[in-house]
A and B are shown apart, each in its own frame.
Chain A
């Protein structure tokens, strides 16, 4: 474990288990996973497909409910919160970036960035949204609809949307999975820049070891269990 881990982790998973019925069998997707992530830490979750990476991310973010075990955000368990309470928690603390960008297609780039700011009741949402679009290099494209943007541009809008409300925790699910190498690298640079600005905890799911290189810690999942954990010797 990292020696600088303070007393209360940003995210803590205790014996986290997820089982799903599949036909007449029960499939164990996550099997009693224990994990603590410190505030400001960058953790990459790796593993082959079907190893439970995305499920782990969904459970940690409260998008899904565990079969058993606990998820603690800032020391408070969330698995028993109501849907709406979870939504409010996410609104205050959590940002997302998805592999398939997940922009609202009938809203402009600017409106997409604006959405969480307004939901969180943040002040001067419009200025803030504009400034984050500028920071991802899309200051002039705010009035464009997602369909009018390239994949890389859409993901940059998604990054602006994720970081604009200053989340404490950011979950990224294969954020470069749908992009070519060069574009993906550029996205990761933007991600780094933005994260530096808000000092957010980052949990990034990927199957690409080269992306995981950038993390403080790498968690390898296999068959729903933590296979091994590697700490990155090169701390930035």
Chain B
């Protein structure tokens, strides 16, 4: 057969298959759309991060630490600046309290703010949108302040009004509308407030504050290459006396951590999207099987006329490739449209709003995966159909030979390997691909078994006395050759994702939002000076606190562990982290990062006689060794640091080395919300170290704000964190994430519906006959439609039920085993899911039955 003949044959065979083609394309487009939307959006996001990384840093290079950047760096910068155009700015950031002063309308009100104090020019890159749009330095000069619009609203202030921060008054000179380097503000604890560095220093907040971040922004001359920037970063690192405690970021790196975050999110969401594509693949297999069943005669005739098997294969494969291309292209178009929905779905979760642009790789990925999945799922029915003997031209009853056991095993293996490869590309990790395929195969098998069992059970129900549509629908479950199990599994997978996600989300947010444990504190007070404590305590009592707990807090850095300096240990962890990141190994990467963070963070220490009630010793004994100064470490934190009983550590407490020995390990019940520390030190060791107090209080509803307002006047350095407000923020973020996953999971439901509709449409001939017969027997069109709708609805209800059960079970495992959260069965979401699945399925079934419904009865009856 020449190529021309082949193409003509492909064209001829495509005739009259429009209905089937529609479902083929539909099944595929839904999944490809989801894949392309995820890949395209993440690619745009990554591109934006890379392109705008200077704007996102607001500089070419940024140094970040919990301590001020040492003076040695200033010398380096000054000598640089003499030679070429190098400029630098210091930023100091902390969370503190702003209050409306006495003479203003909002007098007595206070609000947490994220304060950013600027020494120098800001920003070097990107735009800081201000109203009025004047240079920031000009607005901040002479005690000026600029704040986010929410602060004006909450404190009832206007531009020109005074504002109290840290016990000093400043003048509000403008509103800040957008900052280049404030990435995603989902976790912001309050509105932004800008002051000048001098203004901040005049308050004394920095000296007292326990949670300050220092940044140094550096602008290099225009045209500096990435290599020069890196070299400069290295020199900067050399000038830092304790570089392990600082992070140096360059614009050239292009926000590596953010990009890794995007990668990880894309991997997870990409697999959820792939699930809908795989379900679509099942639909493709079904459509191809139904189509080929009607082509068996043609195939036999081709064979009888002397066409070779591979020529026949080429004809039908050509059809499939044509349809798969059409479906994938439709999916790409859908994906491009879906991308535009992402920003409104993700809201404040996005670090930046990317410019959506055509991402050729994402489109290719969609096309490739669409074609791959189509071929993978179309080949088994194709090979089965090709096995029809030519003798069928003589005797129509001859069916294709059943495949041998070996062939079946081969097909299954090919399917699994192919799917693993596809999932592996999607997740950029073969291990993840295999896990996806294995998990999916297992889940599908369980769902299929469940579906089969349910169908058998339902078919055996005594249905004689049921209303007609119900009886008909139940009877139809057993229709010979009915693809009920496949429909139920496909739709059930979708319902499982949606219900499972919803249940996990609900379990988490209920836990976060639910009643705090009785007697649990409702707020934390930080940065209380020891001499303020008595007065603050009186204020707390006036606010009606029912329980108050307070401990001393000493800030320190780790200096040595078992004789090894922390800088060396941190460097080792850094290398592990980088290696793991390169290999895309999430678990190791996380460990490396956590380890480094644990080593170089500002450590918060307390000293106590006895452990709080929510602490349990798991190793060693408390304060039992009079020979050494003892420390008790939280068990998991000790693991991250590599500490054991007997480990010798040295803390640097404001320049004074404090050697300690680990003599006990503790388990902490963090969910009690009590004040807890990784480190608890034996009393006596730190008594004279510079310290602050931290308190936890349980207040009546609304008491947190009243306490903050009351303290703002007299103790402006004391910050009140309302636990409920923080938990509310975390819950809102979780809900956003879950919404996104559910939205994507919805595509699996859509693919499932397309399969159901395709299955219904594939039975159109029989359906037409039944519709005609029903009409001949005196059924109105409504009655016939009700029969068909009920039949599909039952499939939907079964799928919804099985999916809900599986989703709930999975969620229970995730919650109980993975998150240690008690699972509570919720009745409403599964019921809603079941009802919706039934309704949607009824709709899909009806839509696919419109043609047979419209037929004149005589046509169908005569045809048979």
User: How far, in angstroms, from A118 to B478 measured CA to CA in the complex?
Assistant: 22
B856 surroundings in chain A (CB, below 8 A): 63-65
Classify the secondary structure of B's interface with A: helix
A110 surroundings in chain B (CB, below 8 A): 464
Say yes or no for B537: interface residue by CB 8 A criterion: no
Chain A interfacial residues counted at CB < 8 A: 35
- Binary interface encoding of chain B residues 766-787 relative to chain A, with 1 for a CB under 8 A from any of its CBs, else 0: 1001101101111111110000
Say yes or no for A80: interface residue by CB 8 A criterion: no
Say yes or no for A84: interface residue by CB 8 A criterion: yes
Q: Are the CB atoms of B778 and A90 closer together than 8 Å? A: yes
Query: Which residues of A37-66 are within 8 A (CB) of B?
Result: 54-55, 58, 61, 63-65
Q: Are the CB atoms of B776 and A84 closer together than 8 Å? A: no
Q: Are the CB atoms of A83 and B775 closer together than 8 Å? A: yes
Say yes or no for B668: interface residue by CB 8 A criterion: no
Say yes or no for B126: interface residue by CB 8 A criterion: no
Say yes or no for B404: interface residue by CB 8 A criterion: no
Q: Are the CB atoms of A119 and B777 closer together than 8 Å? A: yes
Say yes or no for A102: interface residue by CB 8 A criterion: yes
Q: Are the CB atoms of B857 and A63 closer together than 8 Å? A: yes
Q: Are the CB atoms of A87 and B864 closer together than 8 Å? A: no
- One of B476, B770, B776 near A96 (C-beta < 8 A): B776
B770 surroundings in chain A (CB, below 8 A): 104
B777 surroundings in chain A (CB, below 8 A): 90-91, 96, 115-116, 119, 161
Query: Which residues of B464-478 are within 8 A (CB) of A?
Result: 464-465, 468, 471-472, 475-476, 478
User: How far, in angstroms, from A89 to B776 measured CA to CA in the complex?
Assistant: 10
Chain B: minimal CB distance from A145 (Å): 9
A94 surroundings in chain B (CB, below 8 A): 778
Chain B: minimal CB distance from A43 (Å): 19
A102 surroundings in chain B (CB, below 8 A): 769, 773, 776, 861, 864
Say yes or no for B310: interface residue by CB 8 A criterion: no
- Binary interface encoding of chain B residues 832-864 relative to chain A, with 1 for a CB under 8 A from any of its CBs, else 0: 000000000000000000000000111001101
Say yes or no for A35: interface residue by CB 8 A criterion: no
User: How far, in angstroms, from A173 to B864 measured CA to CA in the complex?
Assistant: 12
| With A64-B858, A102-B861 as contacts: A87 and B475 at CB distance below 8 Å | no
Q: Are the CB atoms of B773 and A111 closer together than 8 Å? A: no
Query: Which residues of B278-332 are within 8 A (CB) of A?
Result: none
Q: Are the CB atoms of A104 and B773 closer together than 8 Å? A: yes
Q: Are the CB atoms of A106 and B858 closer together than 8 Å? A: no
Chain A: minimal CB distance from B856 (Å): 6
User: How far, in angstroms, from A54 to B861 measured CA to CA in the complex?
Assistant: 10
Say yes or no for B479: interface residue by CB 8 A criterion: yes
User: How far, in angstroms, from A112 to B479 measured CA to CA in the complex?
Assistant: 15
- One of B464, B775, B861 near A87 (C-beta < 8 A): B775
A27 surroundings in chain B (CB, below 8 A): none
Q: Smallest CB-CB separation from A171: which chain B residue?
A: B776
Chain B: minimal CB distance from A202 (Å): 16
Query: Which residues of A95-119 are within 8 A (CB) of B?
Result: 96, 98, 100, 102, 104-107, 110-111, 114-116, 118-119
Chain A: minimal CB distance from B432 (Å): 43
Say yes or no for A135: interface residue by CB 8 A criterion: no
User: How far, in angstroms, from A163 to B190 measured CA to CA in the complex?
Assistant: 81
User: How far, in angstroms, from A55 to B858 measured CA to CA in the complex?
Assistant: 8
| With A63-B858, A102-B864, A147-B480 as contacts: A119 and B783 at CB distance below 8 Å | yes
User: How far, in angstroms, from A161 to B778 measured CA to CA in the complex?
Assistant: 12
| With A63-B857, A110-B464, A126-B464 as contacts: A88 and B778 at CB distance below 8 Å | yes
Q: Smallest CB-CB separation from A85: which chain B residue?
A: B780
Q: Smallest CB-CB separation from B791: which chain A residue?
A: A106
A100 surroundings in chain B (CB, below 8 A): 864
Q: Smallest CB-CB separation from A91: which chain B residue?
A: B778
Category for how many chain B residues contact A: 20 to 34
Q: Are the CB atoms of B778 and A116 closer together than 8 Å? A: yes
Chain A: minimal CB distance from B193 (Å): 72
Q: Are the CB atoms of A87 and B769 closer together than 8 Å? A: no
Q: Smallest CB-CB separation from A96: which chain B residue?
A: B776
B479 surroundings in chain A (CB, below 8 A): 105-106
A116 surroundings in chain B (CB, below 8 A): 777-778
Q: Are the CB atoms of B778 and A58 closer together than 8 Å? A: no
| With A58-B858, A110-B464 as contacts: A87 and B472 at CB distance below 8 Å | no
Chain A: minimal CB distance from B413 (Å): 35
Q: Smallest CB-CB separation from A107: which chain B residue?
A: B475
- Binary interface encoding of chain B residues 434-476 relative to chain A, with 1 for a CB under 8 A from any of its CBs, else 0: 0000000000000000000000000000001100100110011
Q: Are the CB atoms of B464 and A54 closer together than 8 Å? A: no
Chain B: minimal CB distance from A87 (Å): 5
Q: Smallest CB-CB separation from B465: which chain A residue?
A: A126
User: How far, in angstroms, from A90 to B783 measured CA to CA in the complex?
Assistant: 14
User: How far, in angstroms, from A58 to B479 measured CA to CA in the complex?
Assistant: 28
User: How far, in angstroms, from A83 to B770 measured CA to CA in the complex?
Assistant: 16
| With A83-B781, A106-B476, A106-B479 as contacts: A63 and B776 at CB distance below 8 Å | yes
Say yes or no for A217: interface residue by CB 8 A criterion: no
- One of B476, B766, B780 near A88 (C-beta < 8 A): B780
A91 surroundings in chain B (CB, below 8 A): 777-779
Q: Are the CB atoms of B471 and A87 closer together than 8 Å? A: no
Say yes or no for A9: interface residue by CB 8 A criterion: no
User: How far, in angstroms, from A54 to B863 measured CA to CA in the complex?
Assistant: 12
| With A63-B856, A64-B856, A111-B464 as contacts: A84 and B861 at CB distance below 8 Å | no
- One of B472, B475, B780, B862 near A84 (C-beta < 8 A): B780
Say yes or no for A69: interface residue by CB 8 A criterion: no
A83 surroundings in chain B (CB, below 8 A): 775, 780-781
Q: Smallest CB-CB separation from B854: which chain A residue?
A: A83
User: How far, in angstroms, from A92 to B778 measured CA to CA in the complex?
Assistant: 8
B778 surroundings in chain A (CB, below 8 A): 87-92, 94, 116, 119-120
Chain A: minimal CB distance from B852 (Å): 14
User: How far, in angstroms, from A115 to B476 measured CA to CA in the complex?
Assistant: 15
Chain A: minimal CB distance from B519 (Å): 63
Q: Smallest CB-CB separation from A84: which chain B residue?
A: B780
| With A84-B782, A87-B778, A110-B464 as contacts: A98 and B475 at CB distance below 8 Å | no
Q: Are the CB atoms of A118 and B773 closer together than 8 Å? A: no
| With A98-B861, A105-B479 as contacts: A87 and B780 at CB distance below 8 Å | yes
User: How far, in angstroms, from A88 to B780 measured CA to CA in the complex?
Assistant: 7
Q: Which of A55, A64, A110 has the most CB of B within 10 A?
A: A64
B480 surroundings in chain A (CB, below 8 A): 105-106, 147
Query: Which residues of A102-149 are within 8 A (CB) of B?
Result: 102, 104-107, 110-111, 114-116, 118-120, 126, 147
A111 surroundings in chain B (CB, below 8 A): 464, 471, 475
User: How far, in angstroms, from A8 to B856 measured CA to CA in the complex?
Assistant: 29
Q: Are the CB atoms of B776 and A118 closer together than 8 Å? A: no
User: How far, in angstroms, from A119 to B476 measured CA to CA in the complex?
Assistant: 19
Can you sample 7 A-B contacts with CB below 8 Å? A84-B781, A87-B780, A87-B781, A88-B778, A96-B777, A106-B475, A115-B777
Chain A interface residues (CB < 8 Å from chain B) = 54-55, 58, 61, 63-65, 83-84, 87-92, 94, 96, 98, 100, 102, 104-107, 110-111, 114-116, 118-120, 126, 147, 161
| Ranked 9 nearest A-B pairs via Cβ | A91-B778, A64-B858, A58-B858, A84-B780, A63-B858, A106-B475, A90-B778, A63-B857, A106-B479
Known: A58-B862, A107-B475. 7 other contacts (CB 8 A): A63-B856, A65-B856, A91-B778, A102-B776, A107-B471, A110-B464, A119-B779
